[in-house]
Amino acid sequence: MAYQVLARKFRPKKFVDLVGQEHVTQTLLNSVQQSRLHHAYLLTGTRGVGKTTIARILAKSLNCDNPVNGEPCGQCDACICIDEGRFVDLLEIDAASNTGIDNIREVLENAQYMPTVGKFKVYIIDEVHMLSKSAFNAMLKTLEEPPPHVKFILATTDPHKVPITILSRCLQFVLKNLNLDQIFDYLKYVLSEENIAYEEPSLYLIAKAANGSMRDALSLLDQSIALANHQLTTEVVQKMLGVVDQDFLYDIFLALNADNKTELYTKINQLLYQSVGFSALLDEMALILKDLATAKLFSLDLHPENEKFSILANVLSDEEIQIYYQTIINGKKDQVIAPDEYTGFLMTIMRILSFRPYFFKDKSQNIATISDNDRLKKKINYENNDLIKKTVPKQAILNQSFDEISQEVKKNHVNNHLTSNNIVISVDDWYRYIQKVNKKIGTYIILTKQLALVGTNNQGVICAIQNENDFGREILIAGKKNIEKTFMNLFNLQVTWQPWTDNLIPYHSLKKIHDSEMEKKGLEYLHSDKVANKLKELFKGEWDAQSIRFKNID
């Protein structure tokens, strides 16, 4: 027996078998049960969502000898003949190839005769919007008042091209695109019926590529089964669809965030040898950014199993995500005029890198940088593992300025730093150090946000990380090594670690104080500037402290 493709083999034969169109099937079932049958139906929707399938099932229900609650029995001669495509009272017309008035006149003339074997003559006209204007006009009278034994079922992917005079004579149903889970579950059912082994991620890739069309999903499944030799793996499906693993795209975003141009170029070059569609790749990146924005705005945990997604959600600001998204969307538009897809993709990534410094300059650039020699000249000494915790309570610090913090710490340590061999670090020093480290640390900036200085010794600094258990073991180990290496390279300081205690001050808390101080200084500067105040009076506005950006106001 000849092989039958999955899309035909698993075509639903009853309303109950249809996936995702309950709003249509329930209406039609009730109509058949109550004998409240319209003379013309119009089914609209994208390709592969069930328009022709519903039309055939409805034709069976109308002509079935033993319907059960509106469903065709599937056993009578009418049902069997319709399934086999040899029912004389069911005529399927492809309007794309029968567009003229002569074709429609022939249909209308035959419609006057009684059905040969069934209860109704059913005419299914597919892609009805392709009919000519004269053909539509010829249909109007018959479609408005057809013989009682005739039913018209029209189907189209583009209802806007159907004349309003036709639309007003039909009962219209809009079929929805199927969602990812509906397609995924049906693919699992098909593979279980076919006894084919599969990896679940591979089915998600196929379901995603189908874009809401079940027929497209089954066609892709057919192709992947042939390619995989009845062992459906994620790797095989990725190669077939020309897509890359999402972790690979996360790595690209992390490299972008870390400004790691070498790693970024290496990864992009790897794509050249994977036969990927670069336009589709931009779509995937835009979808990741959509998930990131949604997760951050609504505090959702969309991908709890993926650590890289969590890292991205923490290291990318809302503004960065929006700028990345807009740049990628504009890059997708430019693909059609780019020399080739790879060039368009590469230029989009380079555009992000080019604009990134202007939008996302680290706030540490508002702070004067200091040299290693300056560090040794500071007047405040954190010694014997004794930082702010012995001088200022944590809650008090959050309500004080950097100057106030430094004064209190200085008062407690002024007699110690003169004789100690320990390295001297002030609150300002520590903040600036972390700002410098953040520029080099890349992905592990999520750890430096939680970093606190416990104390100092004669070789370097003693640190702790808040909420260590929130991070994966691998990320924590690799992150600490990266922090140690960066401190040594930048400041020639050795980092040692101690457990976290509640009275330590993490970097993100110091940053809040710093940002507040900068906003205050910015407002003072604006209030003292004559030009700025004239503009404020002219536009009758107020100063938004959080929007102030400056390099130096001293």
Q: Among 436, 458, 460, 461, which residue's Cα sits nearest to residue 448?
A: 436
pLDDT score, position 399: 43
Summarised one tens digit per residue, pLDDT across range 207-265 is: 999 999 999 999 999 999 999 887 899 989 988 888 888 888 988 998 888 888 888 88
pLDDT score, position 483: 93
Query: How many whole angstroms separate alpha carbon 9 and alpha carbon 11?
Result: 6
Q: How confident is residue 23, by pLDDT bands cut at 50, 70 and 90?
A: very high
Q: Is residue 199's pLDDT more than 50?
A: yes
Q: Is residue 313's pLDDT more than 70?
A: yes
Per-chain mean pLDDT for the chain: 83
In what helix (H) or strand (E) does residue 441 lie, and over which residues does it extend?
Answer: helix 427-441
Q: What is the DSSP string of 350-392?
A: HHHHHHHHHHH--GGGGS----HHHHHT-S-B--TT--GGGTS
pLDDT score, position 88: 93
pLDDT score, position 76: 94
Query: How many whole angstroms separate alpha carbon 47 and alpha carbon 53?
Result: 12
Average pLDDT over residues 517-536: 80
Average pLDDT over residues 478-483: 90
pLDDT score, position 422: 64
pLDDT score, position 545: 64
pTM across the whole model: 0.62
Mean pLDDT is highest, among 385-389, 406-410, 413-417, 479-483, for 479-483
pLDDT score, position 550: 55
Phi-psi domain of 121 (left: phi exceeds 0; alpha: psi -120 through 50; beta: other): beta
Q: How confident is residue 439, by pLDDT bands cut at 50, 70 and 90?
A: confident
Average pLDDT over residues 152-161: 94
Percent of the chain scoring above 70 in pLDDT: 86
pLDDT score, position 463: 94
Average pLDDT over residues 275-281: 86
Q: How confident is residue 446, by pLDDT bands cut at 50, 70 and 90?
A: confident
pLDDT score, position 385: 37
End-to-end CA distance of the chain: 87
Buried b (16+ CB within 10 A) or exposed e, 486-505: bbeeebebebeeeebeeebb
Q: Locate 381 and state its tokens.
A: 């000494």
pLDDT score, position 319: 84
What is the SS3 assignment for 56? helix
In what helix (H) or strand (E) does residue 61 lie, and over which residues does it extend?
Answer: helix 51-63
Q: Locate 302 and state its tokens.
A: 């969309």
Query: How many whole angstroms separate alpha carbon 43 and alpha carbon 153?
Result: 8
Q: Among 495, 497, 502, 447, which residue's Cα sits nearest to residue 469?
A: 447
Q: Which of 40-44, 316-320, 349-353, 434-438 has the lowest mean pLDDT?
A: 316-320
Q: Among 13, 154, 7, which residue's Cα sits nearest to residue 94?
A: 154
Q: How confident is residue 366, by pLDDT bands cut at 50, 70 and 90?
A: very low
354 burial via Cβ count (<10 Å: 0-12, 13-18, 19+): exposed
Residue 34 CB contacts under 8 Å (≥ 6 apart), including other chains: none
Q: Among 216, 294, 289, 209, which residue's Cα sits nearest to residue 257?
A: 289
Residue 480 CB contacts under 8 Å (≥ 6 apart), including other chains: 447, 465, 495, 497
Q: How confident is residue 305, by pLDDT bands cut at 50, 70 and 90?
A: low
pLDDT score, position 402: 53
* Residue predicted with more confidence, 540 or 150: 150
Q: Is residue 404's pLDDT more than 90?
A: no
pLDDT score, position 540: 74
* Residue predicted with more confidence, 424 or 56: 56
* Residue predicted with more confidence, 541 or 78: 78
> Over 281-345, what HEC string results?
HHHHHHHHHHHHHHHHHCCCCCCCCCHHHHHHHHHCCHHHHHHHHHHHHHHHHHCCCCCCHHHHH
Average pLDDT over residues 131-155: 91
Contacts of 410-416 spanning 24+ positions with Cβ under 8 A: 410/379, 410/380, 413/380, 413/381, 413/382, 413/383, 414/379, 416/381, 416/383
Summarised one tens digit per residue, pLDDT across range 377-391 is: 333 333 333 443 333
Summarised one tens digit per residue, pLDDT across range 58-114 is: 999 999 999 999 999 999 999 999 999 999 999 999 988 877 888 888 888 888 899
